[in-house]
Amino acid sequence: MTEISPPSQAADAAEAAEAAAELSAVSAWCARHLGSEPEETLFSAGHLSRVFGLRLRDGRAVVVKVRAAEPRLAGCTEVQRHLWQAGFPCPQPLAGPLPLSAAETALAMDCAVNAETLVTGGAPYPAADLASQGAGSPGAAAFAGLLARLIALAPAPDQVSDLAPPPAWVHWDHPHPGVWPPPDDRDVDLNAFPETAWLDELGQATRARLAATRDAEPVIGHCDWESHNLEFRAGEPWVVHDWDSVVCAAETVIVGVAAAMWPAGSESFGADIAQSEQFLEAYQRARGRAFSSQHLEEAWAAGLWIRAFNAKKYVLDGLATLTPAEADERARRAGLA
């Protein structure tokens, strides 16, 4: 009689086999596009994508990212390359996005793969400085100043491939039915949960307020400007990660989303009201000119959109990440109340 493994062991074995097949496909990809095969896996991780830190036989340390193929990824890499060449702290793109088909890996989808240099030596911004209050908050100044530098150095939108559609968490102007677009990290219709109707009302009002940004001149920025994606060294910016989150949008939308989310990480779901205010003030100082009252409202509205979108998702996990009181204050500052 054939011995049947317990379900947990069978699942673990299947997962291990899938990971091995994927790494084998990535190794072949590296040989084709980087001219050298991996000899050591330094790390691997995955959420919306699979990321491998690899040491190649020729001595280079690289990061290889595998995720579902999207046309917008070409533009993301072009922006990253432009910024790296301009001296912005980001990894050097080495290859991609190039295909890895479903036939080459255990993943049931066609994938796009990028490779970039592995940048080490940095660390997250100190948690104590992220939480410090007051107009001189060093965390807010560091994060906002670096975003202002990115936007200033980024290419004009017409100089790179199309970056549309943006990631779901900033896609307030989506074409789908209902208030919320399909989320990026789960297969569920967020519009099908009436028990959180107050978030739906917030989302609808925020979309209406952000309609004014359709006529704004777009800029290129980064829409996942959170503490887990930025590393510092001796107090100075060292490297920014996650270049799939390049976006083309109104400046107020990019800055407002960052202001609402910049301290987010393992211990935080986003900024509180004071931290958002600190970020917006620091960004305007770094930019060298103030936002108008209308533009400030747009920034607060963009921040409210992402916080409401995230809250709608996290409710499904039994988590409350946006209180009605905070939502009301953000709505007031966005000109919605």
Q: What tens digit of pLDDT does each residue of 232-242 get?
A: 999 899 999 99
Of the residues 117, 139, 162, the one at which a domain ends: 117
To the nearest 10 degrees (0 to 180), the angle between helices 273-287 and 251-261 is 140
Would 171 be classed as within a structural domain? yes
pLDDT (0 to 100) of residue 11: 55
Cα gap 161→46, rounded to integer Å: 26
Please name the residues in contact with 197: beta carbons below 8 A apart, sequence gap of 6 or more: none
Summarize the confidence of residues 250-271 as an average pLDDT: 94
- Residue 252 burial class via C-beta count within 10 angstroms: exposed 0-12, middle 13-18, buried 19 and up: buried
Would 105 be classed as within a structural domain? yes
- Residue 106 burial class via C-beta count within 10 angstroms: exposed 0-12, middle 13-18, buried 19 and up: middle
Could you report how far apart the first and last alpha carbons of the chain are, in Å?
71
pLDDT exceeds cutoff 60 at 2: no
Cα gap 5→253, rounded to integer Å: 52
**Least confident among 126-135, 136-145, 179-188:** 126-135
Q: Tokens 């009181």, residue?
A: 325
Give the mean pLDDT of the chain.
91
201-234, pLDDT tens digit by residue? Answer: 999 999 999 999 999 999 999 999 999 999 999 9
Same domain, 112 and 139: no
Same domain, 87 and 196: no
The residue with greater pLDDT, 40 or 1, is: 40
Structural domain span for residue 184: 127-333
Same domain, 157 and 286: yes
pLDDT exceeds cutoff 90 at 102: no
Q: 54 in helix, strand or coil?
A: strand
pLDDT (0 to 100) of residue 5: 43
pLDDT more than 90, % of the chain? 81
Please name the residues in contact with 98: beta carbons below 8 A apart, sequence gap of 6 or more: 29, 33, 112, 113, 114
pTM strictly above 0.85: yes
Same domain, 112 and 233: no
Enclosing H/E stretch for 15: helix 7-33
Same domain, 178 and 72: no
- 143 and 58 in contact (C-beta within 8 Å)? no
DSSP single-letter state for residue 268: B
9-26, pLDDT tens digit by residue? Answer: 655 665 666 667 788 899
- Residue 135 burial class via C-beta count within 10 angstroms: exposed 0-12, middle 13-18, buried 19 and up: exposed
pLDDT (0 to 100) of residue 137: 84
pLDDT exceeds cutoff 80 at 108: no
Same domain, 304 and 322: yes
pLDDT exceeds cutoff 70 at 1: no
- Determine how many CB atoms are found less than 10 A away from the CB of residue 25: 20
Q: Which two tokens stand for residue 32?
A: 């084709």
Q: How confident is the model at residue 150 (pLDDT cuts 50, 70, 90)?
A: very high
pLDDT (0 to 100) of residue 231: 97
Q: How confident is the model at residue 306 (pLDDT cuts 50, 70, 90)?
A: very high
Same domain, 259 and 142: yes
Q: Which two tokens stand for residue 168?
A: 């779901």
Q: How confident is the model at residue 3 (pLDDT cuts 50, 70, 90)?
A: very low
